[in-house]
């Protein structure tokens, strides 16, 4: 269950929102084992954002989190796909998009916990 927190300065209509969510779902599939149908999106619209103290009119910031660790080229493909999805859906220029990736070794969901390094003996 990957999580993507996305903040945008725009307020989106239903059509743009649907296109954006579809694109983000496709983007997360660049990471092996991650499925768009399982992606949790925390979308914040109409955010006030600044760069260097200057108010930005059309900007986006994404924080992508998922369980496990992957090679650089896979994260690079994910980053490009997220940027493409945002650009296509809401027209934000790529020089106004920013992204962080957090790879977690523990992740809980559906009443259970996964941990890459620890487990209790059975």
The model's pLDDT over 81-109, given as tens digits with 9 standing for 90+, comes to: 999 999 999 999 999 999 999 999 999 98
Q: Report the distance separating Cα 55 and Cα 50, nearest Å.
A: 4
Q: Report the distance separating Cα 120 and Cα 39, nearest Å.
A: 28
Which pTM value belongs to this model? Answer: 0.92
Do 3 and 23 touch, CB atoms closer than 8 A? no
Do 10 and 45 touch, CB atoms closer than 8 A? yes
- Mean residue pLDDT of the chain comes to 95
Q: Could you tell me the pLDDT band of residue 67, with boundaries at 50, 70 and 90?
A: very high
Sheet holding 40-44, edge to edge: 40-44, 3-8, 60-67, 97-104
Residue 122 has pLDDT above 80, yes or no: no
Quote the tokens at residue 33: 């084992």
Do 62 and 97 touch, CB atoms closer than 8 A? yes
Give residue-wise pLDDT tens across range 7-29.
999 999 999 999 999 999 999 99
Which domains does the chain show, CATH number per domain?
1-30+56-105 (3.30.429.10)
120/80: higher pLDDT: 80
Residue 118: predicted pLDDT: 85
In this prediction, residues 111-122 reach a mean pLDDT of: 85
């Amino acid at each position: 269950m990957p999580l993507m927190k996305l903040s945008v300065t725009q307020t989106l209509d239903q059509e743009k929102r649907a296109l954006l969510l579809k694109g983000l779902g496709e983007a997360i599939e660049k990471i092996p084992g991650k499925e768009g149908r399982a992606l949790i999106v925390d979308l914040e619209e109409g955010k006030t954002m600044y760069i260097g103290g200057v108010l930005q009119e059309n900007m986006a910031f994404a924080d992508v989190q998922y369980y496990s660790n992957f090679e650089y080229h896979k994260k690079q493909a994910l980053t490009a796909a997220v940027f493409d999805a945002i650009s296509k859906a809401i027209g934000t220029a790529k020089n106004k998009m920013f992204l962080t990736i957090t790879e977690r070794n523990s992740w809980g969901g559906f009443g259970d916990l996964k941990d890459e390094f620890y487990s209790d003996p059975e």
